[in-house]
Amino acid sequence: MTEDLNFVQKARREKLDALVAAGVAPFAYSYDRTHQAADAVASLPEGADEGGTVRVAGRLVAWRGHGKTAFAHLADASGRIQLYFRRDELGEDIFAQLALYDIGDVVGVAGPLMRTRTGEVTIRVSEVVLLAKSLRPLPYGKEEVVDGVTVRHSGFADSEQRYRQRYADLAVHPEVRALFVARSRLITAIRGFLDGRGFLEVETPVLQPQYGGATARPFATHHNALDMPLFLRIADELYLKRLIVGGFDRVYEIGHDFRNEGIDRTHNPEFTMLEFYQAYADYTDMMTVVEALLVHAADAVRAVSGIGEKVPVLRPPFPRIEWAPALSAAIGQDVMAIEDEALRRLVSAQGIDKVNTMSRPKLLDELFGALVESRIVEPTFVVDYPVELSPLAKPKRGNTALTERFELFARGRELVNAFSELNDPIDQRQRFEAQARLRAAGDDEASGVDEDYLRAMEYGMPPMGGVGIGIDRLFMYLTDTANIRDAILFPTLRPE
């Protein structure tokens, strides 16, 4: 191990040894703080040159030695503050020990506030305590402030290493921390909104003997004691709807779903899903709920300093366009009446491959994606999907070729998918059996017959509206983030 250390790491271990030899405990247990850095800076009144003593703790992020004095910056979760060390204040021994400190060390300091000649609020350090020695250099860049804007030089740019070592990415990039603060605020806001409307947050199984609720390949695992296969859930849907049968009128879950599919800038194998179900509501009711929820969520993200500026202003009610008329207008003829061959030619003309192997629903979906979805910029509801595209939704009242389903699109991306939920167990059994036939024929994305779920439905399932929102993608939309890896703290990567 020791042979693997580079010279920088060796130097730090030597300093660690020297500190121990001098009687310093290099890894402390606690430190009593009076302020966070930003609060300490703000506590010195405008115009005042001296203030009271403060105690702060954090990481050394810059060091400028001047012989018998030194300036440094200390950063904590709130921001940074300048430190001023003087030999005549700290004494010969302590000041000499500062030579054994490094950028990246976690320290606690105490001393009175002062304002330097250039006006920066600074702690004139009278006590310095090492809280954790840094044995590996953090990839700090240098920062300067030009016209009030912080410019970072060099720094930590390798995106792969930033994902692999998110701790280092966060440690050196306050703006990355701010982004994940915003993500946390988003989820807190969603909980607050739903709790305030009488929804009950529940937890349903992640490990499921039978997966369902979506079309996707699962992760499979095995329980040793029971000697049985288990699957990581691909959706929460079927368990949440069981709870509506049980008498909870409004339930929601925020959790991870897992899909054993490819990884790209909009797909991570595990992702955060919000699903909520409201008994006695239909899809038009849910559109109104979704509008209010998104406004509430966007406001929460907008409140985060440094991130909120990017958040689009949402102005409900969002426009609603009907699926079939919108596509018919785009192609200049009635899409519901078009022949398969003509449809295939239209899809092919969009530059989409493999049209000869596509089913009619698939062709319709492709065409809609190319001609309508991708051109939606402002948040827009697309409503009333063809029944062949929507196996989980109730038929539309007055037109059984369509379903009571809506999706919300913005910037060409799907943000929300919702239905008036199918609550007819006889119909549901037929749809399950159709899935089982597909599976028997080799479709590994098709599910089987979930007998327990059918049993629940047969007891009587209230009508309900259900909504699914991919939280990672909603967050990406709100913060204008292009890559899902930038929206997930520890994205799935190949092993190093």
Under 8 Å CB-to-CB from 217, ≥6 apart: which residues? 259, 260, 261, 444, 445
Q: Residues 250 to 279: which contact RNA by CB under 7 A?
A: 259, 261-262, 264-269, 271
Closest CA to 182 of 297, 50, 260: 297
Under the binding rule (CB under 7 A), the answer on residue 157 touching RNA is: yes
Q: Are 123 and 81 in contact (CB under 8 A)?
A: yes
Rounded distance between C-alpha atoms, residue 358 and residue 347, angstroms: 10
Q: Does 137 bind RNA (CB under 7 A)?
A: yes
297 within 8 A of 189, measured Cβ to Cβ? yes
**What minimum distance in Å lies between the beta carbon of 217 and RNA?**
9
Nearer to RNA, 261 or 299 (CB): 261
- Select the residue interacting with RNA from 20, 42, 65, 280 (CB under 7 A): 65
| Residue 371 contacts residue 321 (beta carbons within 8 Å) | no
Closer to RNA by Cβ: residue 311 or 476? 476
Element (H, E) at 60: strand 50-65
Taking each helix axis from N to C end, the angle separating 323-331 and 360-371, rounded to the nearest 10 degrees, works out to 70
Question: Under the criterion CB under 7 A, does residue 222 sit at the interface with RNA?
Answer: no
Position 473 contacts RNA (CB under 7 A): yes
Q: Binding mask 313-352 vs RNA (x if CB under 7 A, - otherwise)? A: --------------------------------------xx
158 lies in the site for RNA, by CB under 7 A = yes
- 414-444 per-residue burial string, b: 16 or more CB within 10 A, e: under 16: bbbbbbbbbbebeebbeebeebeebeeeeee
Query: Residue 113's CB: how many other CB atoms inside 10 A?
Result: 21
Among residues 279 and 286, whose Cβ is nearest to RNA? 286
Among 214, 297, 335, 464, indicate the residue that binds RNA (CB under 7 A).
Answer: 214
Phi then psi for 157, rounded to 5 degrees?
-110, -20
1, 2, 3, 7: which one contacts RNA (CB under 7 A)? 7
- Considering the rule CB under 7 A, would residue 17 count as an interface residue with RNA? no
Residue in 120, 249, 299, 388 binding RNA, rule: CB under 7 A: 120
The single residue among 68, 315, 397, 455 that binds RNA, judged by CB under 7 A, is 68
Stretch that binds RNA, among 3-11, 105-113, 282-290, 424-432 (CB under 7 A): 3-11
Q: Are the C-beta atoms of 384 and 323 separated by less than 8 Å?
A: yes
CA neighbor of 78 nearest in space, from 58, 55, 60: 58
34-42, 58-66, 125-133, 274-282 -> range binding RNA (CB under 7 A): 58-66
Residue 414 binds to RNA (criterion: CB under 7 A): yes
* Minimum CB distance to RNA smaller for 266 or for 328: 266
Judged by CB, which is closer to RNA: 11, or 200? Answer: 11
Residues in 452-471 that interact with RNA by CB under 7 A? 470
> Does residue 121 contact residue 41 with C-beta atoms inside 8 Å?
yes
Q: Which of 4, 117, 225, 226 binds RNA (CB under 7 A)?
A: 117
- Look at the block and give the residue holding tokens 């493999």: 354
Minimum Å gap between C-beta 142 and RNA is: 4
